[in-house]
Amino acid sequence: MQNTSNLSAAAPVNDALVLIVDDNKVNIAIIQRMLKRKGYRVATAYTGKEALAQVAEEKPDVILLDVMMPVMDGFETCRVLKSQEDTSDIPIIFLSALDDTESKVKGFDVGGVDYITKPFHEPEVMARVNVQVRMRLLEQEQLRNIDALKELNEEKDKMMQIVSHDLRSPLGGIKGLAEILRDGEEAQDAQTVREFSTMMCTSVESLIGLVNDLLDLAKIESGAMSLNLSEFELRELALSCVESLQMIALSKGVNIVMEFGDADIVIRGDRPKLMQVLNNLLSNAVKFTPQGQSVYFTIKERGDEIEVVLRDTGIGIPSELLPHLFEKFGRHQRPGTNGEKGTGLGMPIVKRFVKLHGGSIDVHSVEQEGSTFTISVPRTARSVEDSGELSPTALEI
């Protein structure tokens, strides 16, 4: 169907389907020729019953319906169509040699939207058909916009529930620890103060991460996110990510195996965004890998593309969750092997940042065996504009 935003007031709507219902084959031939010359698709029926069968098979954008037909006339056919929920919104223009006011009023009473009298004049026929088709397309677009707004509102409510919960927990912890340090005897013990301060810093870092993720996602979806390109050595960036997560991995008994090669890999991209991508994927790999298992971090050059692979030997992703992996606040959210929690924002941001670089991300996962994330990015980022698409480029179970 044509985009309604490009429709002028007088232009025909190409590719729209018009059903002509008339027991006179000559009349059908005349109107069919008019419509096809203007780019409309045309279906035909010679009786009211044939028209009902045609509409059940493919919903037309408008119906041109003869009044005087045997067995079931146009008025009765219109009544039936308007009584059915799935066809009641199709605009019906009556065709008739009757030009009296009573017939026209009856046509409008049973649900018709317009009236064309015989003999037909092409400019009049086309003008009336164009108007009704454009109005129908606009109505359909409005309904789609309403549905989209409902989805956005539901998403907003869900986001507020999740964010309020994730904000409340660390804020409550910080408040409780601060009150103890302010009012309790624990403030006299330096070791306790250090322990409480460490816990407060961890909570603050969690809050900052949540806020940053929300801001990043808001920028991406508003189209305000762009790349700040520079040249840098990718292995050095990857090593920084490993070092920042090494203590967490060691505390869980998870080994990070790096396979970076010896040669420098200089790329041109947005260093902070790619670092966030690698940090998110690596932290998730550690998060979902149990004690005693390993995470494998590999970087390879493949012509003009750089391939980054993060493979864990963890719990894997259930088949029913895998298609939702890159959805915001999606059903993929699960606690890690030590009960670690997340907001569900990391993976959507990873997908968007990779796509902004003109790259792709593939995911392969088997439950209880592990997951493999493969990122391919051009050596020089192409600054691809984000389209809002969240689905992964490839998913396998």
Cβ partners under 8 Å of residue 64, min gap 6: 18, 19, 20, 21, 22, 31, 93, 95, 116, 129
* Between 357 and 208, the higher pLDDT residue: 357
Q: At what angle do helices 74-83 and 101-109 cross, to 10 degrees?
A: 20
pLDDT of residue 337: 44
Q: Are residues 110 and 217 in the same domain?
A: no
Quickly state the pLDDT bin for 388 (edges 50, 70, 90): very low
pLDDT of residue 90: 92
Q: Are residues 213 and 111 in the same domain?
A: no
The DSSP result for 329-394, as a single string, is T-TT----TT-----S-HHHHHHHHHHHTT-EEEEEEETTTEEEEEEEEESB---PPP----S-SE
Predicted confidence (pLDDT) per residue in 130-145, tens digit: 898 888 888 888 888 8
- Kindly state whether residue 332 falls inside one of the protein's structural domains: yes
Segments forming the whole domain that contains residue 322: 230-396
Of the three residues 222, 243, 270, the one that is the final residue of a domain is: 222
Q: Are residues 112 and 165 in the same domain?
A: no
The CATH code of the domain that includes 88 is 3.40.50.2300
The CATH code of the domain that includes 188 is 1.10.287
Q: Does 396 have pLDDT greater than 80?
A: no
The length of the chain in residues reads: 397
Q: Are residues 238 and 182 in the same domain?
A: no
- Kindly state whether residue 134 falls inside one of the protein's structural domains: no
Mapped onto helix, strand or coil, the DSSP state of residue 301 is strand
- Kindly state whether residue 129 falls inside one of the protein's structural domains: no
Q: Are residues 276 and 358 in the same domain?
A: yes
Q: Are residues 261 and 114 in the same domain?
A: no
pLDDT of residue 110: 92
Predicted confidence (pLDDT) per residue in 70-92, tens digit: 889 999 999 999 999 889 989 99
Quickly state the pLDDT bin for 39 (edges 50, 70, 90): confident
- Kindly state whether residue 144 falls inside one of the protein's structural domains: no
Q: Which two tokens stand for residue 24?
A: 């006179």
Predicted confidence (pLDDT) per residue in 94-109, tens digit: 998 877 788 888 988 9
Q: 14 pairs with which residues across the strands?
A: none
How many domains in the chain? 3
CA geometry: angle 381, 216, 326, nearest 5 deg: 80
For residue 288, give the nearest of 306, 313, 325, 310 by alpha carbon. 313
- Kindly state whether residue 22 falls inside one of the protein's structural domains: yes
C-beta atoms surrounding 272 within 10 Å: 12
Q: Are residues 346 and 248 in the same domain?
A: yes
Average pLDDT over residues 310-330: 81
Predicted confidence (pLDDT) per residue in 294-310, tens digit: 999 999 998 889 999 99
Percent of the chain with pLDDT over 70: 82
Quickly state the pLDDT bin for 182 (edges 50, 70, 90): confident
Q: Comparing 98-102, 103-107, 220-224, 382-386, which segment has the lowest mean pLDDT?
A: 382-386
- Kindly state whether residue 25 falls inside one of the protein's structural domains: yes
- Return d(Cα 339, Cα 325) in angstroms, integer: 19
- Kindly state whether residue 181 falls inside one of the protein's structural domains: yes
Q: Does 11 have pLDDT greater than 60?
A: no
pLDDT of residue 261: 80
The average confidence (pLDDT) of the chain is 81
* Between 10 and 75, the higher pLDDT residue: 75
Q: Are residues 300 and 354 in the same domain?
A: yes
From the number of C-beta atoms within 10 Å of its C-beta (0-12, 13-18, 19+), residue 100 rates as: exposed
Predicted model pTM: 0.52
Q: Are residues 164 and 288 in the same domain?
A: no
- Return d(Cα 256, Cα 297) in angstroms, integer: 7
Q: Are residues 37 and 77 in the same domain?
A: yes
Q: Are residues 346 and 279 in the same domain?
A: yes
pLDDT of residue 236: 92
Q: Does 331 have pLDDT greater than 80?
A: no
Q: Are residues 44 and 114 in the same domain?
A: yes
- Kindly state whether residue 153 falls inside one of the protein's structural domains: no
